[in-house]
A and B are shown apart, each in its own frame.
Chain A
Amino acid sequence: MSYKQVSDRRILMEGVELYLVHPDELPMAWVGQQECWKQLLAAWLVVEPQDIPMNPRLVGKPGVGKTTLAYAAGRSLGREVYIYQATMDTRPEDLLITPVISPEAKIRYVASPLVTAMIRGGVCVLDEGNRMSEKAWASLAPLLDHRRYIESIVTGLKIRAHKDFRFVATLNEDASTYELPEYIHSRLQPQIMVDFPQREEELRILRENLPFCQEEILRYVVDFLQKAHEAEERYTVRDGINVARYAVKLLRQSNSVDAISAVVEGMRMILGDEATQYLKL
Chain B
Amino acid sequence: MNGFWFTLQHERLHIMPVLHERLEFAEAVRLALEEIRPQIVAVELPASLESHVLRAVQRLPQVSVLLYESSRGEPLYLPICPADPLVEALRWAMEHGCTACCVDVDIDSPMLWHEKLPDSYAAFRLGHREFYQAVVAHGLQELHPWDRLREQGMALRLQRLLGQGGQVFFVCGMAHAQRILEDLRSKLPEPMDRVQRKGVQLFHLHPDSMVEIMTEPPLFHTIYEMRRKGLPPEPQDNALEPPSSAQGRLRLLHGGASMMQDRARACWNAAQWCARRCHRDLQESPAAGAGLRELLEDDGPQPPAHAHKLPMDRQKLLWRWLQRAARMYRYRTGESLQPWQVHGLMRFSRNYALLEGRLLPDFFQWVASAKACVDEDFAYEVWELGRTYPWQGENSTDLPTTRIRGEDLWLGMRRLRIRPRVPRKKRPQAFPVRQRKKETHPGQWAEALDGEALCSYPPEDLLVERFGGYLRQKGVRLLSEERSRVEPFTSSLLDGIDLRETLRNWHEGRIYVRETRRVRGGVGAVVVIFDPDEDGRKYPYCMTWYGEHEQESDMAFYATPLGLKMVGPGISRCEYGGFVMSYPPRRMGDIWKDPVYQVLGSKPEVLLMAALDYTLEPYVVYVAARPPRFWFHTLAARMGLKIVYLPLGQFSSATLKRLRGFHVLSGRDKRLIAKDYILGV
Interface residues of A (CB under 8 A from B): 35, 38-39, 41-43, 45, 47, 54, 56, 93, 99, 107, 134, 153-154, 175, 179-182, 185-186, 189-193, 198, 200
Contacts and interface: CB of A to CB of B under 8 A. Distances in A.
Contacts of A189: 340-341, 344, 348, 372-373
A2 B86 CA distance: 60
A13 B321 CA distance: 50
B352 A185 contact: no
Contacts of B351: 42-43, 45, 47, 54
Given A42-B352, A47-B350, A189-B373, A99 B652 contact: no
Contacts of B500: 93, 153-154
Contacts of B345: 190
B443 to A, nearest CB: 31
A163 to B, nearest CB: 16
Contacts of A134: 650
A180 B657 CA distance: 13
B364 to A, nearest CB: 8
Contacts of B347: 54
A169 B470 CA distance: 22
A35 B412 CA distance: 11
Contacts of B355: 38, 41-42, 45
Contacts of B654: 185
Given A54-B344, A54-B351, 18 more contacts: A35-B429, A39-B348, A39-B352, A42-B352, A43-B351, A45-B355, A47-B350, A99-B503, A179-B650, A181-B649, A181-B651, A181-B652, A185-B652, A185-B654, A190-B348, A190-B372, A193-B371, A198-B427
Contacts of A107: 503, 506
17 contacts: A38-B355, A41-B355, A42-B348, A42-B355, A54-B344, A54-B351, A107-B503, A179-B650, A179-B652, A181-B650, A182-B650, A182-B651, A186-B338, A186-B341, A190-B348, A190-B373, A198-B427
Contacts of B503: 99, 107, 154
B649 to A, nearest CB: 6
A208 to B, nearest CB: 18
Interface in B419-433: 427, 429, 432
Q: Is the interface of B mostly helix, strand, loop or mixed?
A: helix
Nearest to B338: A186
Given A45-B351, A99-B499, A185 B653 contact: yes
Contacts of A185: 652-654
A75 B500 CA distance: 36
Contacts of B356: 38
Contacts of A179: 470, 650-652, 655
Contacts of A35: 368, 429
A154 B503 CA distance: 8
B653 A182 contact: yes
B354 interface: yes
Interface in B624-659: 649-655
B23 to A, nearest CB: 23
B468 to A, nearest CB: 12
B666 interface: no
Contacts of B427: 198, 200
A180 B348 contact: no
A39 B351 CA distance: 9
A61 to B, nearest CB: 15
Contacts of B560: none
Nearest to A189: B344
Contacts of A43: 348, 351
B500 to A, nearest CB: 7
A192 B372 CA distance: 6
A191 B469 CA distance: 26
Task: Please indicate which of the listed interface residues A39, A153, A180 has the most CB atoms of chain B within 10 Å of its own CB.
Answer: A39
A191 B466 contact: no
Nearest to B651: A179
Contacts of A192: 372
Interface in B367-409: 368-369, 371-373
Contacts of B368: 35, 39
Task: Please indicate which of the listed interface residues A175, A179, A191, A193 has the most CB atoms of chain B within 10 Å of its own CB.
Answer: A179
Nearest to B352: A42
B352 A93 contact: no
The 6 closest A-B pairs by CB, nearest first: A190-B372, A42-B351, A189-B344, A42-B352, A45-B351, A186-B340
Task: Please indicate which of the listed interface residues A38, A182, A186 has the most CB atoms of chain B within 10 Å of its own CB.
Answer: A182
Contacts of A200: 427
Nearest to A184: B652
A43 B345 CA distance: 10
A190 B369 contact: yes
A182 B351 CA distance: 24
Contacts of B469: 175
A191 B372 contact: yes
A154 B432 CA distance: 45
A217 to B, nearest CB: 24
Interface in B25-47: none
Nearest to A154: B503
A38 B352 contact: yes
A190 B469 CA distance: 28
Contacts of B432: 193
Task: Please indicate which of the listed interface residues A35, A107, A198 has the most CB atoms of chain B within 10 Å of its own CB.
Answer: A35
B508 to A, nearest CB: 14
Contact of B466 (A39, A175, A182): A175
A80 B662 CA distance: 45
Contacts of A153: 500
A198 B429 CA distance: 11
A47 B354 contact: yes
Contact of B499 (A45, A54, A93): A93
A112 to B, nearest CB: 15
Contacts of A99: 499, 503
Contacts of B650: 134, 179, 181-182
A45 B348 CA distance: 9
B338 A54 contact: no
A25 B344 CA distance: 32
A99 B420 CA distance: 68
Contacts of B338: 186
Contacts of B341: 186, 189
Contacts of A193: 371-372, 432
A190 B344 contact: yes
Task: Please indicate which of the listed interface residues B348, B350, B466, B500 has the most CB atoms of chain A within 10 Å of its own CB.
Answer: B348
Nearest to B427: A198
A277 B654 CA distance: 35
A200 B407 CA distance: 14
A107 B499 CA distance: 12
